[in-house]
């Protein structure tokens, strides 16, 4: 049972990649995959506008996202979980502890330069505070994935199209010989 966790600083392309990857897995590998967006789970728990900075809500969101992923796996669907707040071992464990024991979690870390991230955020009408260059810069300075002892695919989304990035992930997953469960 495949679970791909995509993590990144704001505006590196996790939502675009997640959806493209799900479609590509279905079309090329026959793997049915569902996307679980951690930001949307957070917003289900706290709909207030403004920064999503409540660690208690993030913790709840990670556990709920893990439970949702477990339900999808039970329905024979692979899961692509995406969100910046999976970036530490402890945060990732909150999600993984809700998964079935036989779930195989693969980690993808996206990177992008500040100018590209700012251009993407500025062109996205759904974004609020992340359109502020100072906020975006501060977030990126604080962001860092800290996964110890884990295999991680790192991709620079400024250097490749969403299709090329999804292709790189599918090729990487192929090395693990994943099949529809």
Q: What is the pLDDT of residues 97-113, one digit of tens each?
A: 999 999 999 999 888 88
Beta-carbon contacts of 126 under 8 Å, excluding residues fewer than 6 positions away, are none
Range of the domain at 9: 2-175
Q: Is pLDDT of 120 > 90?
A: no
Beta-carbon contacts of 134 under 8 Å, excluding residues fewer than 6 positions away, are none
Structural domains counted in the chain: 1
Question: Would you say residue 43 lies in a domain?
Answer: yes
Q: Cα(70)–Cα(86) distance, rounded to whole angstroms?
A: 16
pTM, full prediction: 0.86
Question: Would you say residue 181 lies in a domain?
Answer: no
Question: Would you say residue 180 lies in a domain?
Answer: no
Dihedral of CA atoms 62, 53, 83, 159 in degrees, nearest 10, equals -160
* 48-68 residue pLDDT tens: 877 788 999 999 999 999 999
Question: Mutual orientation of helices 133-142 and 114-122 as an angle, nearest 10°?
Answer: 130
Question: Would you say residue 18 lies in a domain?
Answer: yes
């Amino acid at each position: 049972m495949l679970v791909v966790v995509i993590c990144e600083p704001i505006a590196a392309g996790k939502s675009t990649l997640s959806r493209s990857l799900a479609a590509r897995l279905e079309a090329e590998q026959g793997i049915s995959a569902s996307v679980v967006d951690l930001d949307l789970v957070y917003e289900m728990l706290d709909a207030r506008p403004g920064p999503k900075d409540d660690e208690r809500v993030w913790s709840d969101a990670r556990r709920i996202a893990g439970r949702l992923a477990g339900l999808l796996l039970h329905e024979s669907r692979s899961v692509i979980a995406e969100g910046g707040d999976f970036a530490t071992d402890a945060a990732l464990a909150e999600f993984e502890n809700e998964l079935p024991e036989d779930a195989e979690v693969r980690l993808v870390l996206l990177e992008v330069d500040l100018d590209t991230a700012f251009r993407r955020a500025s062109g996205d009408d759904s974004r609020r505070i992340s359109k502020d260059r100072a906020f975006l810069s501060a977030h990126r300075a604080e962001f860092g994935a800290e996964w110890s002892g884990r295999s991680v695919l790192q991709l620079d989304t400024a250097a490749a199209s969403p299709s090329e990035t999804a292709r790189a992930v599918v090729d990487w997953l192929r090395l693990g010989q994943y099949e529809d469960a």
